[in-house]
Structures are given as structure tokens and as C-alpha cells.
Amino acid sequence: MTSTNKPCALEGNVGRWEWVGISAADCAAHSMNSLGPFAVSALMADLHLNTFQAGVWSTFEMLAYAGAMFGISPWAARLRLRRVALVAGVMVVIAQGASAIMTSYAGLLALRLLAGSGLGMLNAVVNIGSARSRSPTRSLSLVMIVQTAVFTTSSLLLPQAAAFGGRTGVFGFLALLVMLLLPLMRFMTSRSDILPSRPVPVTQSGERSCHHPRFIIAVVVFYTSGSLAIWPFSAYVGHVAGLTDTAFGWLAAIANIGGLAVCIAGSLLGDGRIAFRLLVPAIFLTALACVGQAVPWNILAFCAAFLINYALWFFIYPNLIGIACRMDPTGRLATLCSGAWMISQASVTPLSGLLGRNGHFFDVGLMSMGNCLVAALLVTCLDVILPLSAGRP
């Protein structure tokens, strides 16, 4: 995993304008990851859903998200990115728009399947497009810089939409956001070629290893299930801590600015040894933040924990996916990792809702911390079996 001294721009097969298209797809793909708490809060307020029902609603989306990514992964080497992105974007717009007026819980679950499938397809496009570059971690960091700028603005506007139109305003805003991103996705190429294949990483003993994919997928599963267990209920916990909708919107905007700074730092570090060495302390700090985010001792403690967990995601996640991209330049392993993320979050979200059904999320915080600590341990193991010199030239 060697760093490069070239400027922070996408390299290899991913050109400047294609980067615009991939960035648009990334913003659409992660619109519910960043803005989802507003949707969950609006549903709970408008339809009087309890935390378990809200957790199941989120789970349907995440399972569809994962299913789409797993379904696409075998075709990663031949995928035509622009065509898939445009179809997926239309699916998301339809699902979000219909969710603004749907009153049936069963209908809302069906629409989550449609939205999740589209979001998963978009995320697969992002991972595969980044894997075709020479520096996947740097590519993902640059793409996430655009994402944070978009979501910082959205976090300030979405509470106004909620105040004006309630649930209709929230989902209408989410549909409009993806609709505005659709034309930019046309900048992606329709070609399906990939970079020339690279040597399979070898262990320090010189043997080819089949354990690397298992390790990186396991790290993603434990890290995401830990750091994101409380995420769908963040707005709810923030309200318990004393934050208003507008205040939570400002907190989310500040968190996005912090994420932007982390993305810039990540793009400068690229795929180097230093970034890899920082993974374990970053995940450990996230483990501590998860407890503070789940247990609102006071407004200041909740805000600090929320900011730490959110900002560090923009360093940890692109580095983990970047490792997967370097292991498999087709993007298949990276897509599987993102699918595993959705499966892990889909599993832990209803459990979090069940544990927090009385309005207290302390047990969720402990579970989150434990999962993150396991992820940190696995990264340490990965450091031993994955030689840093096996990265891209």
C-alpha cells in the first residue's frame, strides 16, 4: 500500500469528468446514510411508529441495498456504469417521492425495497469506478469531499423542509436531491473495461493468501455494525438530549464540515502506510464515541460523540474500501464489502430499536463499542498478514 506523489486527482481509467459523474452517484447512494435520521424522525412523528417499527423500516432498505450490491458484484469487471447509475437514480426518485404520501406501513416497506435496490446499485457504481483508478482510497476521499459539501447544505435545508411540509417535505426533498444529481451521472463513461490485472497480494512468508478477503469483509462488518448501530435513532436521541430539529440540523452540518476536513486529509495521505497505521486508533476512538452518542448525559457530550463518530467515518470507511479495491481491481471485493456493511447494519438496526424501545440506548452503546473493538483487533491482524508493499504501483 504505497503512497504516490502525484497531485490529488483521480488517476488511471477514471477521468476528470467521470469523477463528476461518480461523485453525483456517490451523493445519491449515500443520501439516506447521511440524511436518513431526518426521514426516520419524520415517520415516527407523522405515523406514530415506535422505535422497533422504524428499525424494521430501515432494515428493509438496507437488505435491498445489500442484495443489489451482491447481485452486481459478479458483473463488476463488465459493468457499464452510466447505464446502471441512471436506472438506479430513477428508482430512488420514485421510491422517495411515493414515500412522501404513502400512509400504509406495508406500502412504505415495499418502497424501501425499491429505494434500497437503487441506492445499492449506485454504491456499486461508486466502488467499481473507484477501483478502476490507480489510488482507490484517494479517489474515494475526493468523491466524499463532494458528498460532504452536498450534505452539509442539505442538513441545513432539510429541517426547513420538515418544518414546512412534515414527512411530505422530508421525502420530497430527498427525491428532489437525487433528481438534481441525475443529469451529472451522465458524465460517467459507458465503457466496461478495467485496468490490467495486478498480482495477487502475498503474505510475508511469500505464500498467496486466501484470508485477506475474509479479514477485510469481517473488519467492515464489525466496524459498520458498531459505529452505525445508533445512527438511525440519532435525531431521536438528540431530541432526548435537548436538541431541537433545527439544532440537530446544524449539528449534522458541522459534522459534515468535519467530515470534509477528514476527507481532504485522507486524499493527501492516499494509500500510504501512515493512513493504514491510523486505522486502529481511529476505530478505537469511534468505539468510545458510540457510548457517548447512545447515552445523552448532556447536550455537549452527545454533540461531541456525534461529531467524532461521523467525522472519523470519512477516514475509516474509504480506507477499508480502498484496501479491498487494491486486493481486487475489478471492484468486486469492494462491492461485496459494501454489501456486507448493509447486511451488518440491517441486522443491528432492529436490534437497536428493540433494545431502545423504552427510550434508553445504553445497551446499544455497549454493543457498538464491542463491535468496534473487534474491528480494531482485526485490522491489527490484517496489518500482520497484508504486506504494505503489495499495494498498487
Residue 195: strand, helix, or coil: coil
Q: Where are the alpha helices (DSSP H) in 270-361?
A: 273-294, 299-327, 332-355
pLDDT number for residue 368: 93
More confident residue, 79 or 177: 177
pLDDT number for residue 357: 75
* CATH topology (fold) of 16-192+201-390: Growth Hormone; Chain: A; (1.20.1250)
Domain boundaries, the chain: 16-192+201-390
Band of the pLDDT at 387, cuts 50, 70, 90? low
The model's pLDDT over 110-136, given as tens digits with 9 standing for 90+, comes to 999 999 999 999 988 888 887 777 677
How much is the mean pLDDT over the chain? 81
Return d(Cα 64, Cα 300) in angstroms, integer.
36
Return d(Cα 170, Cα 161) in angstroms, integer.
6
How many CB atoms sit inside 10 A of residue 192's CB?
Answer: 15
φ and ψ of 352, to 5 deg = -65, -40
Grid cell at residue 113: 425495497
Return d(Cα 222, Cα 373) in angstroms, integer.
8
pLDDT number for residue 331: 78
pLDDT number for residue 373: 95
pLDDT number for residue 183: 93
Taking a C-beta distance cutoff of 8 angstroms, is the pair 165, 45 a contact?
A: no
pLDDT number for residue 212: 65
Q: Whose CA is closest to 325, among 271, 388, 374?
A: 271
Specify burial of residue 45 (Cβ count, 10 A radius: 0-12, 13-18, 19+).
Answer: middle
Lowest mean pLDDT among 18-27, 117-126, 172-181, 278-287: 18-27
Band of the pLDDT at 386, cuts 50, 70, 90? low
Residue count of the chain, please give it.
Answer: 393
- Residue 140's alpha-carbon distances to 53, 175, 208, 318, 352, in angstroms, are 33, 24, 27, 6, 29
Taking a C-beta distance cutoff of 8 angstroms, is the pair 126, 143 a contact?
A: yes
pLDDT number for residue 384: 67
Angle of the 332-355 helix axis to the 362-385 helix axis, nearest 10: 160
- Is the pTM of the predicted complex or chain greater than 0.85? no
Lowest mean pLDDT among 19-23, 175-179, 230-234, 355-359: 355-359
In this predicted structure, the answer to whether residue 70 has a pLDDT above a threshold of 60 is yes
Grid cell at residue 190: 459507458
More confident residue, 196 or 184: 184
Residues 29-55, mean pLDDT to the nearest whole number: 83
Grid cell at residue 128: 467499481
Taking a C-beta distance cutoff of 8 angstroms, is the pair 205, 218 a contact?
A: no
Taking a C-beta distance cutoff of 8 angstroms, is the pair 388, 273 a contact?
A: yes
pLDDT number for residue 5: 38
In this predicted structure, the answer to whether residue 221 has a pLDDT above a threshold of 80 is yes
User: Per mean pLDDT, which of 121-135, 143-157, 309-323 is the most reliable?
Assistant: 309-323
Q: Whose CA is closest to 293, among 310, 278, 277?
A: 310
In this predicted structure, the answer to whether residue 177 has a pLDDT above a threshold of 90 is yes
Return d(Cα 321, Cα 334) in angstroms, integer.
6
